Structure 1
Amino acid sequence: MRTAVLTVASAARRAHLERQRAVLAEVAPDIARVEVFLDAAVPDGIRDADVRTLHVPPGPHGLRVGAGRNAAAAAAIAEGAELLVFLDVDCLPGPEVFARYADAAAAHPDALLAGPVTYLASVQRPAVADLPHLKRPHRARPALPAGETRVAEPDEYDLFWSLSFAVTPATWEHLGGFHDAYEGYGAEDTDLAWAARALGIPLVWTGGADAYHQWHPVESPPWRHLDDILRNGAAFHRRWGVWPMGGWLEAFAAAGAIERRGDAWVRV
């Protein structure tokens, strides 16, 4: 099964991208790779001669992560990929991630496949041989033994993250890719999962397809993304009738930054 790994990146994550490239060179040296840069221009000196490089510039409201992933998928499919593995720029691939996704795709070719993700600590810069010893999948999502899969329950689609997932081209075409309503931070991955559920596409938890999220500073709730969350949340509400990211919205409201007015959340 010809596999392509697809990554969207920006200058702000250059160090993460370089570590991801180094690990990919060890665990899957011959894999097809597509990188999409989301800045206003492709950063100088960042192109890799062995990688298909694309550019999807920002929209008026910020980086277009979903559009970048859609462009990467289109390029990989055009070049004959039989399995698309989407790997966030912050993530390092585990030694077995591509084999486990390929096995799961053979068993569930019509599914959206999701492997477990471990969040690394700030000091950790692991070698490939160390990755399996650091495996501590995030407790919010199912983490099955290697080689096992399980079809998600309908209420588990909200647990889908776009940090690491895989699909066959046929399933990607059925799904239609990421919706273009979202720019900047938030909601595009939940929207993709809800679209899959609405179309009857199974979400399959894939044991052993481990990825390792490299540390970067975060804040909770993410104040610098407040406007993105309100705008993208409203777009999600128009499509699905509910607001996503409810925990963050409630935290913003508790701090007095936003309030609920009818069906909308607005700044105070």
Structure 2
Amino acid sequence: MRTAVITVASSARREHLERQRRALAEVAGDIVRVEAWLDETPPDGVRDAGTRTLHVPPGPHGFRVGEGRNRAAGAAIDAGADLLVFLDVDCLPGPELVPAYQAAARATPDALLAGPVTYLASVQRPESATDLPFLRRPHRARPALPVGETRAATAAEYDLFWSLSFAVTPATWGRLGGFHPGYEGYGAEDTDLAWTARERDVELRWIGGADAFHQWHPVSSPPWQHLDDILRNGATFHERWGVWPMGGWLDAFAAAGAIERRGDGWARVR
């Protein structure tokens, strides 16, 4: 099964990208590698031999993460990939991530496949993929099945889909239609993809053993630096689906007096 690993990247995550490249070389050397660069300018000095690099500059409102993944998927399919593995630039692949996704794709080629994600602590900076299984601590918000086991998600569990790590066959990618192009900047594009899958009867399947390990970086909760993105992308999601995503963050912003409800929407007040 010819497998492509797809990553969107920027200069702000260069160290994370380099660590991911090394881990992939350890655990999955025989892959099609596609990186979409999201900065305003093309990558300078970070191109990787053997990697197809695309430049997808920002739109008026910020990085076009979904569009970067869409174009990278198209390049991977053009290169003959039978399986598309999407791996966020912050994520390292566990030793069994690619084999587990491959086995699941053979068994359920029409499904959207999602493996567990471990969030590494700030002091955990593994330099070898062989160290990763010892750091495994899957996020408790999502199913984390034993190696070799898979199961279909319930309808409610589609909200737990994260685009940090997932895989699809090209045929299933075609059924989904890729990420919706209406999202720029931070938030909502992965939930939109999951809801599209549910609407189109594409099974979401949890894949034991396809472990990814999210490298630490500073965050804020709620993410104040993304407030405007969340309001804009949340409004796009509401227009498409009739509900607002990221409700916990919206409630936190409202409690802090930064936004307020106005009719069916939210508006910034400071």
Amino acid at match of 1:184: G
Q: Indicate the SS of the match to 1:53.
A: strand
- Between the aligned partners of 1:148 and 1:49, the Cα distance in structure 2 is 35
Amino acid at match of 1:89: V
Q: Which residue of 2 aligns with 1:189?
A: 190
Return the TM-score normalized by structure 1.
0.99
Superposed displacement of residue 125, structure 1: 1.3
- Between the aligned partners of 1:129 and 1:98, the Cα distance in structure 2 is 14
Q: How does 1:40-189 map to 2 (within 5 A)?
A: 40-126=40-126, 127-189=128-190
Total equivalences in the alignment: 268
Q: Which residue of 1 aligns with 2:11?
A: 11
- Between the aligned partners of 1:42 and 1:115, the Cα distance in structure 2 is 31
Q: Indicate the SS of the match to 1:146.
A: coil
Q: Indicate the SS of the match to 2:15.
A: helix
Q: Indicate the SS of the match to 2:118.
A: strand
Q: Which residue of 2 aligns with 1:36?
A: 36
Return the TM-score normalized by structure 2.
0.99
> For 1:147-168, what per-residue CA distance to the aligned partner results, in whole angstroms no more than 9, with x for missing partners?
1000000000000000000000
- Between the aligned partners of 2:79 and 2:247, the Cα distance in structure 1 is 40
Superposed displacement of residue 41, structure 1: 1.1
Q: Which residue of 2 aligns with 1:254?
A: 255
Q: Indicate the SS of the match to 1:138.
A: coil
Q: Is there any run of 5+ residues in structure 2 with no aligned partner, and where?
A: none
- Between the aligned partners of 2:172 and 2:226, the Cα distance in structure 1 is 31
> For 1:209-240, what per-residue CA distance to the aligned partner results, in whole angstroms no more than 9, with x for missing partners?
00000000000000010000000000000000
Superposed displacement of residue 42, structure 1: 1.8
- Between the aligned partners of 2:129 and 2:77, the Cα distance in structure 1 is 28
Q: Is there any run of 5+ residues in structure 1 with no aligned partner, and where?
A: none
- Between the aligned partners of 2:49 and 2:206, the Cα distance in structure 1 is 34
> For 1:86-131, what per-residue CA distance to the aligned partner results, in whole angstroms no more than 9, with x for missing partners?
0000000000101000010111100000000000011111122211
- Between the aligned partners of 1:135 and 1:53, the Cα distance in structure 2 is 30
- Between the aligned partners of 1:229 and 1:248, the Cα distance in structure 2 is 9
Superposed displacement of residue 43, structure 1: 2.7
Q: Indicate the SS of the match to 1:66.
A: helix
* Deviating 4+ runs (over 6 angstroms): none
> For 1:234-265, what per-residue CA distance to the aligned partner results, in whole angstroms no more than 9, with x for missing partners?
00000000000000000000000000011010
Amino acid at match of 2:20: Q
- Between the aligned partners of 2:153 and 2:49, the Cα distance in structure 1 is 39
Please, what is the CA RMSD of the aligned residues? 0.5
Superposed displacement of residue 44, structure 1: 1.2
- Between the aligned partners of 2:107 and 2:29, the Cα distance in structure 1 is 25
> For 1:50-105, what per-residue CA distance to the aligned partner results, in whole angstroms no more than 9, with x for missing partners?
10000100000000000000000000001100000000000000001010000101
Amino acid at match of 2:202: I
- Between the aligned partners of 1:74 and 1:137, the Cα distance in structure 2 is 31
Q: Does 1:201 align with 2:202?
A: yes
Identity across matched positions, percent: 78
Q: Indicate the SS of the match to 1:36.
A: strand
Amino acid at match of 1:247: G
Superposed displacement of residue 192, structure 1: 0.2
> For 1:138-195, what per-residue CA distance to the aligned partner results, in whole angstroms no more than 9, with x for missing partners?
0000000001000000000000000000000000001000000100000000000000
- Between the aligned partners of 1:43 and 1:144, the Cα distance in structure 2 is 38
- Between the aligned partners of 2:44 and 2:172, the Cα distance in structure 1 is 35
Q: Indicate the SS of the match to 1:123.
A: coil
